[in-house]
């Protein structure tokens, strides 16, 4: 897949995709998160090429989302582990998973999330940090923020936001 400089856009969706939006990347993060941490395990779990997996992991390490933890010195071998930045990204990806569980899981959810501290199966819900109510797209108005800028990928959007 061709990389487009989403990073240049004044848009936090685009900048997130710049790190996490490459084809396979969310599934690589999924695997690392559930404990599939070694290059060959991830590669065979997903059935992808060494070249693609190497490139994707490089993006993630460069972005500080994943780090390498040596488990063998000679030859050097690593576990890939999530950083705090990566763990928070996984939580956002769980919101995408919840959407798939609702809209694209005819046989029921392939995975369940056990919330240790509350003891229940959690459905990730996206809520307002202020009032804690689930966000409804029709009840929101998107406004320009301090980091807004007109440019590639945001040519008309500033006008749309007002």
Stretch 97-136 residues interacting with its own copies (CB under 8 A) = 97-118, 120-133, 135-136
Residue pointed to by tokens 């998107």: 142
Question: Residue 109 Cβ, how far from its own copies at the closest point, in Å?
Answer: 4
| Shortest reach from residue 53's CB to its own copies, in Å | 13
Judge contact between 152 and 8, C-beta under 8 A.
yes
Cα gap 94→117, rounded to integer Å: 17
SS3 call for 108: coil
- Work out whether 45 is an interface residue with its own copies (CB under 8 A): yes
Contact 32, 66 (CB under 8 A): yes
Tell me which residue has tokens 């685009």. Answer: 14
Candidates 35, 54, 69, 77; binder of its own copies (CB under 8 A) is 35
Minimal distance in Å, beta carbon 73 to its own copies?
25
Residue closer to its own copies (CB basis): 54 or 133? 133
Residue 27 touches its own copies, criterion: CB under 8 A: yes
Q: Does 51 bind its own copies (CB under 8 A)?
A: no
Rounded distance between C-alpha atoms, residue 117 and residue 101, angstroms: 22
Among 70, 75, 76, 147, binds its own copies (CB under 8 A): 147
Q: How far is the CB of 62 from its own copies (least distance, A)?
A: 13
Q: How far is CA 61 from the centre of its chain?
A: 14
| The two three-digit tokens of residue 134, written as one number | 């689930």
User: Interface with its own copies includes 28 (CB under 8 A)?
Assistant: no
């Amino acid at each position: 897949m061709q990389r487009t400089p989403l990073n240049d856009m004044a848009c936090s969706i685009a900048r997130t995709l710049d790190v996490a939006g490459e084809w396979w990347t969310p599934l690589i993060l999924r695997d690392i998160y559930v404990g599939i941490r070694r290059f060959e395990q991830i590669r065979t779990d997903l059935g992808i090429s060494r070249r693609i997996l190497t490139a994707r992991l490089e993006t993630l390490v460069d972005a500080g989302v994943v780090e390498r933890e040596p488990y063998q010195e000679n030859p050097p071998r690593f576990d890939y582990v999530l950083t705090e930045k990566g763990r928070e990204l996984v939580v956002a990806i769980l919101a995408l998973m919840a959407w798939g569980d609702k809209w694209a899981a005819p046989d029921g959810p392939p995975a369940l999330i056990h919330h240790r501290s509350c003891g229940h199966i959690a459905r990730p819900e996206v809520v307002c940090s202020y009032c804690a109510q689930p966000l409804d797209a029709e009840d929101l108005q998107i406004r320009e923020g301090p980091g807004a800028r007109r440019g590639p990928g945001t040519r008309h959007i500033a006008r749309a936001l007002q």
